[in-house]
């Protein structure tokens, strides 16, 4: 046992350990026994960790050829499954396993660097790189500290969520998944041991394999089933049960290796190369637009599994030797702290640049994070590991202290972010809920609908109040990410982005009026104006031009409305779209005294020009159908702005805030009253509206 510690990563001089272990393995052929000795230090494992972290960092700084670098997380999961499951199984078999001992090792390994980075992120995020949404950051910090960040980000990945690049703790989701695996793995293995305790050894082994296979298949099927497109929270991406099959795949490596061991050495070389090719394929060909994890995650996961299998059997194969080189092992040794540091720094840079990417600056942030990772490894991780070696600690005390530390940091960080940080932020207005009278309304004498996509959703409460004040009842009919026309919406890769071809004209039945508001430009395949939301494309089988599809679909919708007896229809023309998250931009502008949150009016007009032409042409033939253009409410002749001082009219890049909804209503009150009530006094068309 002593020689294992001498050659382990805990050594101050791991390179000597690498050489010693390689020499020991080179003296003879790999045996089944050595395959199952998971605590032997194997340099190529650290090299595989290096591949994982390099792909993740490369993806996050948008390094060319690294579009699918997010699969590095899948590689980490497979490695963890291989090491943790087999270490626990080995200790259970030797009757020396203790949950407290296991938790103590994990506490020493994970928490020191984790809490250090978390506290520094808190300090930076609430002072220099202040977050525009303190409540969201407070929640993410609290749940990150107690290892439940994955559930926070799962519930905050909706259509209106703040851009991922501005969330400095987003990467903590994967650490939370691993920690939840650490909780479940020993309990599952102990339960399997108890279930098979009275079986004959061979039958027990078969039962273990069968149970493992069933658990892995169930998890993988769930992963495929619960991978959702952008319109829904992607459950499979964030939760441990749908990622569990990757840990199980790694845990089953010795079983696979025992089979491959009987095959010719040439096949093992082929498996190593195939595994490397699978990872290269995933990193270079996958991208953020694809449904993931889905079944695609099997490519990097199986690739990592094949590399580990082949490395166990033949550590001198070409892939294992490449991974065991000094630079790769060195990067692998600092891969954990590098993962902790890299994303917050990249996120801070992106936040300071209003969501826009600067490759040079983000490359610098990645390099700085590597320096911090080396320092963390040298002055935090290694001393803690030495301390655990030279001193005996009571496991219960270590686990209790670690748990208490997480809870204390989580609570103090939450209170600081929620109570103190807002006092240091400029006070923005316009984002609060609309004021509701709650009584004194005239009798309801008119009924109608508010129809559209997310642009209808965000003004729903405000316009229901305006309708009640006018003696009208307003029912909402909307689908996020879908215009109210009969057409499918597909992304840039030609895949359905949402089921938008299910528009039902029955929605108009019983309605006297209809107000329609849509992010029209979003569905026309235009060059992307919004770094946080990609543009999509209207498609159908007969027409290829999305503008023609819009014209035909909208005309059909208006015709259906008229046939259903809708008397008055009011369409709202495209709003300006901003290339940054408005609250963060305005907060920064006020704090630093440099206001660059506006966008040139000429750019906005160019993006809207053909859309406006189509809308006017569609509306013209219909009686009692109006089109209002609110552009001048938010734009001068020179520029468009999401705010007026500290008052915000947009709460992200294109959606109106309650203040923006009120500005829209008051600016075209005559037209809205005409739609809501048919009031003859409002029948004079407002400026910039048309019939």
Above 90 in pLDDT, residue 10? no
Which residue range forms the structural domain that includes residue 573?
446-690
Q: What is the pTM of this model?
A: 0.85
* Spatial separation of the C-alpha atoms in residues 649 and 634, rounded to whole Å: 8
Q: Please answer whether residues 364 and 346 qualify as being in contact, where contact means their C-beta atoms are separated by less than 8 angstroms.
A: no
Report the number of distinct structural domains present in the chain.
2
Above 70 in pLDDT, residue 41? yes
Q: What are the tokens at 71? A: 């699969």
pLDDT at position 440, please? 83
Confidence at 681, pLDDT banded by 50, 70, 90: low
The answer to whether residue 437 sits within a structural domain is no
682 DSSP assignment: G
95 and 208 in a common domain:
yes
349 and 229 in a common domain:
yes
158 and 18 in a common domain:
yes
Kindly report, residue by residue over 89-109, the tens digit of the pLDDT: 999 999 999 999 999 999 999
The answer to whether residue 429 sits within a structural domain is no
| Least confidently predicted of 44-58, 343-357, 544-558, 652-666 | 343-357
The answer to whether residue 633 sits within a structural domain is yes
The answer to whether residue 299 sits within a structural domain is yes
Give me the numbers of helices (H) and strands (E) for the chain, helices first please: 30, 13
Specify burial of residue 258 (Cβ count, 10 A radius: 0-12, 13-18, 19+): middle
Kindly report, residue by residue over 311-342, the tens digit of the pLDDT: 999 999 999 999 999 999 999 999 999 999 99
Give Cα 370 distance to the centre of its chain: 23
Query: Beta strands 446-452 and 513-517: pairing type?
Result: parallel
Q: Which residues pair with 449 in a beta bridge?
A: 475, 514
Kindly report, residue by residue over 219-249, the tens digit of the pLDDT: 999 999 999 876 578 899 999 999 999 999 9
The answer to whether residue 131 sits within a structural domain is yes
Query: Quick check: bond before 3 cis, omega within 30?
Result: no
80 and 190 in a common domain:
yes
455 and 407 in a common domain:
no
Confidence at 17, pLDDT banded by 50, 70, 90: very low
534 and 409 in a common domain:
no
Q: Tell me, what CATH number does 657's domain have?
A: 3.40.50.1110
Confidence at 148, pLDDT banded by 50, 70, 90: very high
* Spatial separation of the C-alpha atoms in residues 87 and 96, rounded to whole Å: 11
Most distant CA atoms of the chain, gap in Å: 98
Q: Could you give phi then psi for residue 576, rounded to 5 degrees?
A: -65, 150
The answer to whether residue 435 sits within a structural domain is no
Most confident residue range from 38-42, 195-199, 241-245: 241-245
Above 70 in pLDDT, residue 688? no
The answer to whether residue 436 sits within a structural domain is no
């Amino acid at each position: 046992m002593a020689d294992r510690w001498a050659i382990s990563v805990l050594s101050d001089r791991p390179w000597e350990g690498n050489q010693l272990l390689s020499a020991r393995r080179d003296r003879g052929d790999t045996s089944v026994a050595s395959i199952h000795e998971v605590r032997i230090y194997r340099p190529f494992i650290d090299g595989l960790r290096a591949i994982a972290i390099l792909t993740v960092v490369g993806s996050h700084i948008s390094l060319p050829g690294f579009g699918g670098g997010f699969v590095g997380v899948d590689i980490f999961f497979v490695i963890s499954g291989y090491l943790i499951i087999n270490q626990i199984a080995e200790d259970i078999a030797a009757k020396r396993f203790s949950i407290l001992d296991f938790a103590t090792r994990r506490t020493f390994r994970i928490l020191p660097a984790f809490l250090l980075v978390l506290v520094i992120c808190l300090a930076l995020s609430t002072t220099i790189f202040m977050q525009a949404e303190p409540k969201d950051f407070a929640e993410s910090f609290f749940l990150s500290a107690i290892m439940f960040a994955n559930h926070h980000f799962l519930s905050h990945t909706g259509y209106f969520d703040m851009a991922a690049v501005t969330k400095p703790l987003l990467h903590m989701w994967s650490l939370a998944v691993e920690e939840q695996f650490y909780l479940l793995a020993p309990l599952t293995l102990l339960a399997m041991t108890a279930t098979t305790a009275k079986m004959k050894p061979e039958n027990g082994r078969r039962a273990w394999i069968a149970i493992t296979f069933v658990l892995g298949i169930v998890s993988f099927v769930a992963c495929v089933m619960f991978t959702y497109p952008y319109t829904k929270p992607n459950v499979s991406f964030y939760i441990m049960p749908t990622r569990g099959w990757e840990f199980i795949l790694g845990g089953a490596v010795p079983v696979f290796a025992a089979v491959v061991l009987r095959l010719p050495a040439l096949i093992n070389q082929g498996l190593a190369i195939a595994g490397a090719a699978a990872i290269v394929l995933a990193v270079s060909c996958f991208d953020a637009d694809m449904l993931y994890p889905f079944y695609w995650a099997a490519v990097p996961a199986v690739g990592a599994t094949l590399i580990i299998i082949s490395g166990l059997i033949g550590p001198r194969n070409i892939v294992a030797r490449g991974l065991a080189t000094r630079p790769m092992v060195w990067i692998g040794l600092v891969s954990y702290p590098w993962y902790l540091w890299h994303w917050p720094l990249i996120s801070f840079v992106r936040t300071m640049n209003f969501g826009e990417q600067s490759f040079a600056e983000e490359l610098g942030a990645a390099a700085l994070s590597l320096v911090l990772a080396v320092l963390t490894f040298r002055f935090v991780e290694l001393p803690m590991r030495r301390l655990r070696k030279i001193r005996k600690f009571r496991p219960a005390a270590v686990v209790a202290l670690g748990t208490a530390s997480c809870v204390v940091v989580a609570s103090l960080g939450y209170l600081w972010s929620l109570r103190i940080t807002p006092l240091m932020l400029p006070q923005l207005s316009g984002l609060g809920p609309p004021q509701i009278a709650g009584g004194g309304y005239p009798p309801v004498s008119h009924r109608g609908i508010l129809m559209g996509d997310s642009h209808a959703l965000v003004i729903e409460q405000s316009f229901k109040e305006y309708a009640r004040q006018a003696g009208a009842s307003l029912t909402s009919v909307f689908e996020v990410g879908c215009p109210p026309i009969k057409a499918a919406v597909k992304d840039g890769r030609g895949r359905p982005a949402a089921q938008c071809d299910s528009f039902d004209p029955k929605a108009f039945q019983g309605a006297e009026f209809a107000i329609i508001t849509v992010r029209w430009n979003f569905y026309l395949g235009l060059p992307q104006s919004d770094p946080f939301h990609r543009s999509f494309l209207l498609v159908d089988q007969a027409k290829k031009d999305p503008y023609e599809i819009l014209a035909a679909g909208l005309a059909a919708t208006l015709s259906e409305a008229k046939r259903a007896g809708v008397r008055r229809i009011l369409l709202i023309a495209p709003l300006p779209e901003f290339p940054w998250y408005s609250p963060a931009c305005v907060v920064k502008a006020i704090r630093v005294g440099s206001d660059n949150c506006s966008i040139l009016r000429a750019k906005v007009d160019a993006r809207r020009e053909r859309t406006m032409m189509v809308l006017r042409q569609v509306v013209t033939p219909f009686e009692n159908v109006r089109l209002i253009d609110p552009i001048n409410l938010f734009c001068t002749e020179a520029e468009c702005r999401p705010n007026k001082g500290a008052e915000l009219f947009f709460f992200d890049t294109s959606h109106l805030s309650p203040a923006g909804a009120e500005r829209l209503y008051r600016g075209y009150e005559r037209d809205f009253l005409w739609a809501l009530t048919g009031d003859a006094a409002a029948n004079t068309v407002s400026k910039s509206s048309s019939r």
